[in-house]
Amino acid sequence: MSPVEPADTPVQPTDTSVVLDAQRGAVGASFLRLRPWIVAPPALVTLVVLHLTPGARSLPLTWVMGGMVAFFVYEAWTLAKLGMPFVTARRLGISMLVTVTGLSLACGLTGGGRSPMIPLLIAPLGVTFAAFGRRSWSWVVVAYLAVHLVGVTLAGIVAPWSFPMPAGGVVGVVVVIVTGALLWVGVAALTDAHRRAAVDLERMRQAVVDESARRQRELEGMGARVAHEVKNPLTAVKTVVQLAAREPREPKHRRRFEVAAAEVERIESILQGYLSLSRPLDDLRLAPVSARALVEHVAVALEGRGATIRWAAPEAEVLVDRQRVTEALLNLALNAISASPPGGVIEIMAEVDEGFRIAVVDRGAGMSPELLARATTAYVTTKADGTGLGLTLARTAARQHGGDLRLESEAGVGTKATLDLPRHPGSMMI
């Protein structure tokens, strides 16, 4: 049985609550800071108009509006003194309720449901929605406003009065301007908060990406150093095992040494693949080479591998790292041979125009869409003795030249792998 958590244990805020609190703080601070400057001048104009209007309830309205402005000034002053900690959800919610109360009284004293000040009640409602969204304080303010609207309507019925023109028109225009200004403050603050959040999120995302890239470079460098250090003693072990296998021994012992030598060679192949994969870009040795000579070299090297090699390439000259492209082409061709039935036909076709493309085509087992999507991922292989680095190395070589590797395959039909390279690499990408 787990211990009961104490009642006063603080609840860790979720990411969403942090964002919403920041949104509420931005909207609330902007609204409370600017509200006195927006409300005070129009309130003064309205009071002057009321004092000049016969029969108006100017004295009680003076007290109501004066009290509201004083409250708004106090909140702005306190915010300036205490800063953002002052703008709590409770403080902002109570401020909206006080605002609704004061505006409702002002509407009741200036005609009730016919009061030109009715539109002002939209302002605290809009700012509340901007600050709280669908949180509980929004519904509290909505319910509170609904009750006061009923009271305002009843006040207009019990004590009917309306502004005479043109005084009512002047007050109506002032009210619309003030309402628009208050709503603009709240909505603009919300928009600014979202914009700042987007900027902060992008900055944090970029920092994470940069840190991940740095750590990846460090790990790749460390892995390459480890692989390089392991190669040297592994070569010594391989030599000793091969020499031991040549000595006169019983067949079963000789076979064991042969298996050990084969496994050492496989480990060497994996290490070589990793070192090729992690070799940095500035190791590329670009030099002019004949496309025909490059493809012919690969075709000759594959003779006797159990497949018929058909190839074609122009004499055109291309600028590439010959060793890298040869390694990539050999990996693609060996994959094609492995996927083909014994005696199958492998085609290696090169084209040179604005770019340099070499396609390796087999009519073997092909790949399913799921396997094709992961084919160039390191260490993904369907061969029992495969390393899963062949296609990865080919793609890396192509990208380091500023090109790419394109794969087209269909299960039961075959596969076409195309090295798509620039003829004269300018800028190179990872």
Query: Domain with 310 in it: what CATH number?
Result: 3.30.565.10
Residues 297, 253: one domain? Answer: no
Query: In the prediction, which pLDDT does 319 show?
Result: 92
CA distance 67 to 64: 5
Is there a contact between 398 and 405 (Cβ–Cβ < 8 Å)? yes
Listed residues 206, 239, 261: the one ending a domain: 206
Q: Which of 150-154, 229-233, 335-339, 354-358 has the lowest mean pLDDT?
A: 229-233
Contact present, 116 and 171 (Cβ < 8 Å):
yes
**Tokens 């029969």 belong to residue:** 55
Query: Both 66 and 193 in a single domain?
Result: yes
Is the Cβ–Cβ distance between 58 and 51 less than 8 Å?
yes
Peptide bond into 6 cis (omega under 30): no
Nearest 5°: the CA angle 46, 48, 53 is: 90
Distance CA 393, CA 375 (A): 12
User: Per the domain annotation, does 340 fall within a domain?
Assistant: yes
Binned at pLDDT 50, 70 and 90, residue 112 comes out as confident
Q: Same domain for 386 and 240?
A: no
- DSSP letters, 178-236, are HHHHHHHHHHHHHHHHHHHHHHHHHHHHHHHHHHHHHHHHHHHHHHHHHHHHHHHHHHH
Tell whether pTM > 0.85. no
Contact, 294 vs 325, CB < 8 A?
Answer: yes
Q: How many domains does the chain have?
A: 3
Q: Do the domain assignments include residue 4?
A: no
Q: Which domain holds residue 303?
A: 285-422
Residue 277 pLDDT > 60: no
CA distance 400 to 420: 12
pLDDT class for 7, splitting at 50, 70, 90? very low
Q: Are residue 234 and residue 292 in the same domain, yes or no? A: no
pLDDT over threshold 70, residue 203: yes
Residue 358 resides in a domain: yes
Token digits of residue 308: 């018929």
pLDDT tens-digit readout, 190-200:
677 667 767 77
Q: In terms of domains, do 170 and 28 share one?
A: yes
Is residue 428 assigned to a domain? no
Residues 270, 299: one domain?
no
In 278-335, where do the E strands start and end? 287-290, 308-312, 317-320
Q: Which helix (H) or strand (E) holds 359?
A: strand 355-362
Q: Are 42 and 181 in contact (CB under 8 A)?
A: no
- Shared domain for 132 and 232, answered yes or no, is no
In terms of Cβ atoms closer than 10 Å to its own Cβ (0-12, 13-18, 19+), residue 75 is buried
pLDDT band at 423, cuts 50/70/90? confident
Considering the domain architecture, whether residues 141 and 34 belong to the same structural domain is answered as yes
Residue 3 lies in a domain: no
Which of 232, 254, 278 lies at the terminal end of a domain, its last residue?
278
Q: Are residues 273 and 305 in the same domain?
A: no
Q: Report which secondary-structure segment, H or E, holds 420.
A: strand 414-422
Which pLDDT score is estimated for 419?
92
**317 vs 45, higher pLDDT:** 317
Summarize pLDDT for 209-259 with one digit per residue, the tens.
778 777 766 666 666 666 656 766 776 677 777 777 677 667 766 677 777
At position 70, the amino acid (one-letter code) is A
pLDDT, residue 123, reads 84
What per-residue confidence (pLDDT) applies to 202?
79
**Inside any domain, residue 151:** yes
Amino acid letter, 4: V
pLDDT in tens, 341-373: 888 899 999 999 989 999 999 998 888 888 777
- Domain presence at residue 143: yes
Q: For residue 179, how many other CB atoms are within 10 A of its CB?
A: 20
Work out the number of other CB atoms within 10 angstroms of the CB of residue 319. Answer: 16
- Do 242 and 336 fall within a single domain? no
4 has pLDDT over 50: no
- Computed over every residue of the chain, the mean pLDDT equals 77
Residues 279-332: tens digit of each pLDDT: 554 467 889 999 999 999 888 878 777 788 899 999 999 999 888 898 889 889
- Residue 52 included in any domain: yes
Find the angle CA(144)-CA(149)-CA(152) to the nearest 5 degrees: 130
Contact 361, 415 (CB under 8 A): yes
Mean pLDDT within 113-131: 82
My answer on whether 168 and 42 are in the same domain is yes
Where among 206, 236, 270 does a domain terminate?
Answer: 206
Residues 181, 116: one domain? Answer: yes
Which pLDDT score, from 0 to 100, does residue 281 have? Answer: 46
The predicted pLDDT at position 270 comes to: 67
Element (H, E) at 362: strand 355-362
The pLDDT of residue 283: 64
